[in-house]
Amino acid sequence: MTWWQQLIRAGAVPGSGSKSDEPEAADHADLVEGTELQAHPLADGAQIPATVSFLNGMERWRIRAYDGVIPLVDAYIAAAVRRRDERGVLHTTAVRSRAFAVAAVASMPPTLRESLEGAAGDIAPVDGEFVGQPARYLEQVESIVRRARAHLERELAEAATLDLGTDEWLVLDGRLSRSPSVARHPRALGVIKSHGAQFLEGRGLERALTLPAGHRTSVFAVRGGHTRTETYSWYLRLWPWEGNDLLYGLLRVEARAHADTVARASEISAWLWAERAPLATPATRWDRLLYPLHQVAEYLKALAPRELHAQRAARLPRTGT
Amino acid sequence: MIAPRSDQTAAPIGRVVATELRPSTPHQFHFWTATETSIGIGAIVKVGDGSQESGDRVVYGVVTEGFAYSDLATPLHDVVGAEGDPARATDAPTARHQIRYWTAAVLRQTPEEPLQPVPLGQVFVADDADVAQALRMDAFLYSATPTAIPVGLYTAAGRDAPVYLDADFLLGPEAAHLNISGMSGLATKTSAVEFLLASIFAHFPSHKGRVAAVCFNVKGPDLCFLDQPGDLTEEDRRRYARLGVPAEPFRNVRLFAPLKADGVNLNTLRTHPDLVDDVEPLTWGLQEVVDFAEVLLNRDDIDAKADAFIDFLRDRVLGRTFDDGFGTTHRVQTFADLAGFFRSIFDGLEIIAGGRSDTWRTHHIATMRKVRNRLLNISTRCKGLVTDDGPSSDLPWKGFEDRTVYVIDIANVDPLGQDLVFARVVSKLREQLERRELGVDAVVVFVDELNKYAPGDGPDTYVKKMLLDISERGRYLGLVLFGAEQFRSQVHRRVVGNAGTQIFGRMDMDELATPGYQVLTPATKSKLATLPIGELMVRHPHFTQPIFVRFPKPPVLRGRDGVERFPPAADVPFEEAVVRQLVRLDRRVRPNQVKDLIADREHDDVRRALAAARQKRPDDAFAYFRKVLGARVESETQDAREHHAVPPLNPIADEPY
């Protein structure tokens, strides 16, 4: 018997996994439901709204050329809103995309810069301080592309909330607080599957991270994101974590900071619990990715330029037969 | 015939996709459609809209396979998502991404050269004009001398379009013959042939001459009511109108049936008093039978000695004055004469020769006994069809009429008699078509139950050889075989192989598993196994792929319905039957007069007199009947009979040429 088997026999919970989400800075959360963070079982019988729109985005970038050691990057970002009809089929209602070059324009020789500016109408500049250090340069590129994507998603979310029907909900992948107007909308939900930012500590944190499947935590208020707009949030466990890691099947839900959110947290959680099926496979984080959001991402991938698709592992020619 | 192309641009229903794993080829392509689409297996589609993608190339194809799948990586994920409860699987609020992915076989490409892989492009449902193009019907539909025969309506995606066969390839001379197979009762084989005959009669082009059909009714009352209207639905009538075929029964039908053993009642199910007058007796004597003696001999009987003796009888004895060498002169014209001839020889060998010899004119007594038994046996087994004595009543040879169906009802005849009827009728047709003296230029011969008459294995019977002969050489003569069977795989491969047009109704899965159906996709086989009544799959030389069509119910009374509407009458007593037949010839005949006349007469004499009256059809039937009955009725003089030897049939071999 191994040492960990002995520990499990002694009362430890079986688990697996390795590196977790990257840590992110987060403010302390204030509990708004009860006096202590508790695990609440979900309400029976999910009330799924008749009409729900789902928003997700994607990003792709590839190095296309080098100016000396400075990579010249081709980037593509896109976001879409797809509305679910009464048969459960998603239909696209809005889609936005942007293709642009990422380059340290100021550091480029005049001929190359003129050529780039002439050929690529949309250029995102990289600060000159990163030139000469390709690894840091690429981190910066990634950051630029991610920010551009977040901006695109925020714009689309704001537009989508304006078009929402009377009883229609908007569920978006990521934080709700990126946009004040979206964060204050009564029928907008943010579904967060990365848990680098921890808002809880001590016993509350332990209760949240060991939440049983089919339970949610008490609601707490968080401030975060670019806009620092306050939202209400809670954790929801979709699949049992025992035997996996602590974050397995764990979602954090964001909704507007309003008493009504607290009142409806169980009802909304039961709805999201019902969204476990179909499984969002083959996505690696299917345990906490809602299938409709996965489908929006797949839709965007299908629209993305083929040359930006993920590079093959081997660069040898490959036949299909 | 074909509706003009709509000016309105049709919306595409799909799009061609080609991947490295499943590329487009010159003969096949793949496309996707919306999940809810009106097309299915057998639908005809068109690729090409003149866009940059497809260029000027237009491709027509028929859907041969369909696939549906979702983004589910493994079935296990669905189980996990539903937590192992199938009832919960439907509770999922979002429907998985699905695809409807179709494979189509190319029917035609324009331009035809150079032949290239199907380009990417939009896919449209074919309209009437597209169907004509796709099936290469334009060549015979729009020519100066059209030869199009409607076979049914291609129906898909809420549209229907007439599908035509080329008469040059259905009735000759380019190709000919039609074979139809399918499950009994569900494939509607007989109905399909009835509709097709109606279509041929309505559309057979005048420049190709005159056409008639000979149908052998081999089971029940199937073909006994072709002149009576059947019940048609509004949908049937719409289909008739769309196909340009009159929704009415055959105008000209002549039905022949042998007599029963009593020699006066007809051996058919069409004996209802309202209809029986239209049935003509079919009776043959020795002269008609002997040319087809080979039909009566089974495989073990066929040897050179028997053949030689039959030839001897045919050439030296029948219809001639012949001295048997034992002091008796014979003139053999009937079965009765033949029996006397044999008796005289056997007596001569026994009594006069004292039993010292067992040969007569080089023929062994055993051979003679065998031939005698076979020939005389037929007059017993097929009494009513074959008469011992008296004149024959036959089809109107040399007088066939245009667009007329000749039905020969042999359903209740001994199988040997069926073979005899089939062999003689087809031989006479062939003989007279060769001489161009039949009265029509083409004859469709419909034979059901080919499994029985031309099986792939079993003995090489005369009938089988004859069917092979028609299959391989009939198209040059205008002798066209429409054959039907339940199991195509069990029919001689050269009989089905020579059929230019092949039709399939609902098929048995076991039959579809045989090698003959390997060219069909699993989806097509599945469709064939579940075809509804009235839908068929057609293969024709102009069609590069099988096409599914629907045909209307035939405009005639089905045999089963006919028997219900016109129940067969019970056999009537001899005297009454004679009266009826005479009244049929002459309505002035008084029944009591006839009964008094025949009251004390031999039945054979009465039968002979009646047959003579039937054959003569005099103005005063009773007077003629009384006159003939007054004396021995002489058989038809055979001296002047021209003996048309039937050309020998080739032995069955694997190599047809």
Model confidence band, residue B465 (pLDDT cutoffs 50, 70, 90): confident
Asked if A277's CB is within 8 angstroms of B72's CB, the reply is no
The DSSP 8-state label assigned to residue B134 in this structure reads: H
Amino acid residing at B544: T
**Maximum C-alpha span of chain A:** 70
Percentage of chain A with pLDDT > 90?
Answer: 60
Model confidence band, residue A38 (pLDDT cutoffs 50, 70, 90): very high
Q: How far is B90 from chain A (nearest CA, A)?
A: 9
Asked if B81's CB is within 8 angstroms of A48's CB, the reply is no
Asked if B94's CB is within 8 angstroms of A84's CB, the reply is yes
Residue B650 has pLDDT above 60, yes or no: no
Model confidence band, residue A311 (pLDDT cutoffs 50, 70, 90): low
Percentage of chain B with pLDDT > 70?
Answer: 92
What integer pLDDT is reported at residue B163 of this predicted model? Answer: 95
Please give the average per-residue pLDDT across B575-599, as a whole number. 86
Residue A134 has pLDDT above 70, yes or no: yes
Write out pLDDT tens, residues B530-556: 999 899 999 999 999 999 999 999 999
In this complex, the residue of B21, B73, B91 whose CB is nearest that of residue A320 is B21
* Tokens linked to B262: 């009593």
- Sequence length of chain A is 321
Model confidence band, residue B116 (pLDDT cutoffs 50, 70, 90): very high
Q: What is the 3-state secondary structure (H, E, C) of B158-191?
A: CEEEEEEEEHHHHECCCCECEEEECCCCCCCHHH
Q: How far is A54 from chain B (nearest CA, A)?
A: 11
Of B603 and B530, more confident: B530
Other Cβ atoms closer than 10 A to B596: 11
Please give the average per-residue pLDDT across B504-510, as a whole number. 92
* Tokens linked to B589: 């005949």
Q: Is B85 part of the contact surface with chain A (CB cutoff 8 Å)?
A: no
Q: Is A235 part of the contact surface with chain B (CB cutoff 8 Å)?
A: no
Q: Spell out the residues 6+ positions from residue A202 whose beta carbon is closer than 8 angstroms to its own.
A: none
Q: How far is B95 from chain A (nearest CA, A)?
A: 5
Other Cβ atoms closer than 10 A to B634: 12
Model confidence band, residue B126 (pLDDT cutoffs 50, 70, 90): very high
**Closest chain B residue to A287 measured between Cα atoms?**
B81
* A31 phi, psi to nearest 5 deg: -70, 130
Q: Which of A142, A140, A123, A122 is nearest to A132 (CA)?
A: A140
Asked if A88's CB is within 8 angstroms of B89's CB, the reply is no
Write out pLDDT tens, residues B238-297: 999 999 999 999 999 999 999 888 888 889 999 888 888 888 889 888 878 887 777 776
Asked if B88's CB is within 8 angstroms of A279's CB, the reply is no
Q: Is B87 part of the contact surface with chain A (CB cutoff 8 Å)?
A: no
Amino acid residing at A144: I
Q: How far is A286 from chain B (nearest CA, A)?
A: 10
CA dist B68 and A172 (Å) reads 30
Q: Is B96 part of the contact surface with chain A (CB cutoff 8 Å)?
A: yes
Model confidence band, residue A82 (pLDDT cutoffs 50, 70, 90): very high
Q: Is A317 part of the contact surface with chain B (CB cutoff 8 Å)?
A: no
What integer pLDDT is reported at residue B356 of this predicted model? Answer: 74
* Tokens linked to B233: 């639905």
Q: Is B36 part of the contact surface with chain A (CB cutoff 8 Å)?
A: no
In this complex, the residue of A52, A90, A278 whose CB is nearest that of residue B92 is A278
Asked if B92's CB is within 8 angstroms of A321's CB, the reply is no
Amino acid residing at B556: V
Q: Are strands A123-125 and A90-103 parallel, antiparallel or unpaired?
A: parallel
Residue B337 has pLDDT above 90, yes or no: no
CA dist B181 and B503 (Å) reads 7
Q: Which of B169, B625, B201, B137 is nearest to B440 (CA)?
A: B201
Q: Which of A55, A26, A54 is nearest to A220 (CA)?
A: A26
Helix (H) or strand (E) holding B434: helix B415-434
Write out pLDDT tens, residues A10-31: 888 787 776 667 767 666 788 9
Mutate which of A92, A239, A291 to disrupt the B interface (most B C-beta within 10 Å)?
A291
Least-confidence region, from A285-289, B179-183, B290-294, B483-487: B290-294
B82 to chain A: which residues are within 8 Å by CB? Answer: 277
* Tokens linked to A62: 């590839």
Residue B8 has pLDDT above 70, yes or no: no
Write out pLDDT tens, residues B20-67: 999 999 999 999 999 889 899 999 999 987 777 777 899 999 999 999
> Is the bond leading into B4 cis (omega within 30 degrees of zero)?
no
CB A176 within 8 A of CB A114: no
Asked if B20's CB is within 8 angstroms of A281's CB, the reply is no
What integer pLDDT is reported at residue B392 of this predicted model? Answer: 73
> Which of left, alpha, beta for B464 (phi over 0: left; psi -120 to 50: alpha)?
alpha
Average pLDDT score over chain B: 86
User: How many contacts does A have with B, using Cβ atoms within 8 A?
Assistant: 56
Other Cβ atoms closer than 10 A to B121: 25
Model confidence band, residue B656 (pLDDT cutoffs 50, 70, 90): very low
Q: Is B22 part of the contact surface with chain A (CB cutoff 8 Å)?
A: no
Helix (H, G, I), strand (E, B) or coil at B550: strand
Q: Is B18 part of the contact surface with chain A (CB cutoff 8 Å)?
A: no
What integer pLDDT is reported at residue B642 of this predicted model? Answer: 47
CA dist B33 and B630 (Å) reads 84
Q: How far is B83 from chain A (nearest CA, A)?
A: 9
pTM of the predicted model as reported, rounded to 2 decimal places: 0.80
Q: Is B95 part of the contact surface with chain A (CB cutoff 8 Å)?
A: yes
Of A27 and B449, more confident: B449
Residue B187 has pLDDT above 90, yes or no: no
Mutate which of B22, B88, B94 to disrupt the A interface (most A C-beta within 10 Å)?
B94
CA dist B311 and B291 (Å) reads 9
What distances in angstroms separate CA B24 from CA B20, B184, B586, one per listed residue? Answer: 9, 39, 74
Write out pLDDT tens, residues B608-632: 888 888 777 888 888 888 888 875 4
